[in-house]
Amino acid sequence: MPELLIELFSEEIPARMQQQAGENLLRLLGEALAPLNPVDARSYTGPRRIAASLNLDAMVPGRTVSERGPRENAPEKALEGFTRKHGVSKDALTLQNGFWVLEREEAPIGAAAHIAAIMPDLLRRFPWPKSMRWGAGSTMTWVRPLRRIVCLLDGQIVPFSMATADDNGHNLSASNQTEGHRFLNPGVMDVTSAAQWQQGLHERHVMVHAAERREAITTGLNALAQAEGLSIVPDAGLVDEVSGLVEWPVPFLGQIDPIFMDLPPEVMQVSMRVNQRYFALRNSDGSAAPRFAFVANIIPTDDGSLVVSGNERVLRARFADARHFWNLDRKQSLASRVEGLNTITFHAKLGSQGERTRRMVRLAAILADMVGAPAALCERAAELSKTDLTTGMVGEFPELQGVMGGYYARHDGEQPEVAQAISEHYTPRGPGDEVPVAPVSVVLGLADRFDMLTAFFAAGEKPSGSGDPFGLRRAALGIIRLIRENGLRLDLVKLFTLAAEALPEPLRTAPDLALLPQFIAERLRVQVRTEGARHDCLAAISVDNEDTDIVRLLARAQALQTMLETEDGQNLLAATRRAANILRIEDKKDGPHEGMPDPALFEQDEERALYATLQTVEPAVEQAFAAEHFADAMRAAASLRQPLDRFFEDVTVNAPDAALRLNRLKLLSRLVRMMRLIADFSQIEG
């Protein structure tokens, strides 16, 4: 199969846009080249180019195309318009199912001709998050000025131009030329194939694979750090970003001036990361090391001494700014900043950060009793939790919210539990973060998130589709993890109701507030699915279940999953479904078939055995649930397997005798009703 290589060479592409651009290029090519059956598609992304290679058929085969025109009884003008559009006479049409149809033969098209035809439009509509215009004479846009287009089919140029009749397309046309590294090998290179393109660029100090650059960065930095007995602070996001900034990564270590080592390590790390894309290092004991790492895009001629000293000089200036904020912020206590929160808007419908803080103080007092934490400390932590928003350091580095509040609280002499809670109340921020376990920290984290969810839902700002500008899904997952990993027994409906009582008057009865329990339930199912557990078991025990105690729900779901993993459990599931299906069919005829079955009407031992087992199992299940002994409840239910199997093997439910049929349907109805105490088995997959 012929090989197609496309390379789009431009000025520097923002790192955050490169991966998606590569995926979009493959998607658009796959759609446009579908008639050529593309396979083995690969994308390549970097600071100055996105590219793709794929194999495809040599030709689009010929075919007969049918196009339906007007109805047979349509006005003559409609038919004339259809024939004029296609340049044919009425004699070329045939009647099919009451419509005039034009059938025409499309000749085979060579791959090169098809590619040349589709590429200009594909490039003009290429989706970038942000694009720009440049030069004169063309309305074509690109993320940055597009300089070259390589388009080769089996080594031969596929000729096309971006120009149109009234647009010069920036004088761009397909060629076989690209460029190497901007500084190390700035010349033009001829391209003959995807393999030669990749090898040739590598010789010209360009790594076309983002994964190769990431590996080079990680390996190089770790080697330099390990040589000094240090380790790089893990930061996959920064590695990804830097790999999108350099074509030929060259790692270096620099020295941090000792006068700055008393700054909080989080301040140093964030300052290095945000301002300079530097990596922080740690000593073997986990403390911050007086070193930093960075990646250059050149190979210095002096072993890097000039590059290192220049970056050290820049970092000293950055740290001097951070020290200024650090010293200035500590001159004013957090307690004195509480009043300033009244001037910071939280949300137009929800008032200021001061109003939010007062809601959190109230919630913290309520939660403290439920969690078993000191109420006074919880209220104090809530009162001070947002005050670092008024500090210079957080104004410069919003990523340090909470962290700086904790440092400033310790400086002010607040109780250690209060300072710890302030520093931890935004965690967990993501799935990899540890969950706070200190009671005051847990209370503050819950108060923050319960208020956030309640307030934004009341204000009509609930997430929609993929949009979640206020991070409410993340807040819900934070609540779930705080509850699960601390084993908390909380009534979510009650807490959302209590949180809503403190909202501004018009919002307390907002209709979207009723959606909050279900919103948490959906996030819980997402988390369970992510963990690889059976989310269908959670769904099955949640149907018609108003219980919002997450710990209890998960324990029930786990017990159900354990039962279904046994042979008895699988057979019981199948039999219960069979009973439910029979009832559903018969209820449509003359149901519902409810009420207690009459033992005197039983004719077969199998009926009597199933009834007797139900008489034992039903109260046992109810008692086990009341005591939250869910495994016992499942074992009791599993004992129904054998009598139920025998019932279906030997008993005809729809007996000719109407009274007998009704009695047997009532028996199945009781069985299904009892099993619904455990779960809705229709939700179980498989």
The angle subtended at Cα 221 by Cα 218 and Cα 222, nearest 5°, is: 80
Residue 602 zone, left/alpha/beta (φ > 0; ψ -120 to 50; rest): beta
Per-residue burial over 323-344, b if 16 or more Cβ lie within 10 Å, else e, is eebbeebeeebbeebbebbeee
Residues 6+ apart with CB under 8 A from 505: none
The answer to whether residue 87 scores a pLDDT higher than 90 is: no
Residues 6+ apart with CB under 8 A from 74: 100
The answer to whether residue 621 scores a pLDDT higher than 70 is: yes
The region of weakest confidence among 89-93, 123-127, 131-135, 609-613 is 89-93
**Mean pLDDT, all residues of the chain:** 93
CA torsion through residues 602, 605, 610, 616, sign: positive
pLDDT in tens, 361-402: 999 999 999 999 999 999 999 999 999 999 999 999 999 999
* Cα separation, 597 vs 417, whole angstroms: 61
pLDDT value at residue 201:
98
* Cα separation, 589 vs 591, whole angstroms: 6
pLDDT in tens, 287-305: 999 999 999 999 998 889 9
pLDDT value at residue 347:
94
Amino acid in the structure at residue 201? L
pLDDT in tens, 487-534: 999 999 999 999 999 999 889 999 999 999 999 999 998 888 888 888
The answer to whether residue 136 scores a pLDDT higher than 80 is: yes
Amino acid in the structure at residue 233? V
The answer to whether residue 679 scores a pLDDT higher than 80 is: yes
The answer to whether residue 544 scores a pLDDT higher than 80 is: no
With 0-12 / 13-18 / 19 or more C-beta atoms within 10 angstroms meaning exposed / middle / buried, residue 402 is buried
Say if residues 296 and 277 touch (Cβ distance below 8 Å). Answer: no
φ/ψ of 345, rounded to 5, equals: -75, 130
Which tokens in the block code for residue 308?
Answer: 């290192």
With 0-12 / 13-18 / 19 or more C-beta atoms within 10 angstroms meaning exposed / middle / buried, residue 299 is middle
Q: Does domain 334-532 have CATH number 1.10.3210?
A: yes
Residues 6+ apart with CB under 8 A from 104: 64, 65, 67, 86
Q: What share of the chain is helix, strand, coil (3-state, %, to 5)?
A: 55, 15, 30
Domain definitions of the chain by residue range: 3-59+111-204, 63-106, 210-330, 334-532, 561-678
Q: H-type helices in 330-428, by residue range? A: 353-371, 375-384, 392-396, 403-411, 416-424
Q: What is the CATH number of domain 561-678?
A: 1.10.730.10
pLDDT in tens, 27-67: 999 999 999 999 999 999 999 999 999 999 999 888 778 88
Say if residues 648 and 609 touch (Cβ distance below 8 Å). Answer: no
Q: Which of 487, 498, 629 is nearest to 556 (CA)?
A: 629
Q: How far is CA 48 from CA 44, 106, 418, 625, 686, in A?
A: 11, 40, 49, 63, 49
Which tokens in the block code for residue 344?
Answer: 């910071």
Percent of the chain with pLDDT over 70: 100
The answer to whether residue 686 scores a pLDDT higher than 70 is: no
Higher pLDDT, 317 or 568: 317
Highest mean pLDDT among 136-140, 238-242, 657-661, 669-673: 238-242
Within 10 A of 222 (CB to CB), how many other CB atoms are there? Answer: 15
Q: How far is CA 594 from CA 509, 617, 644, 671, in A?
A: 39, 19, 19, 11
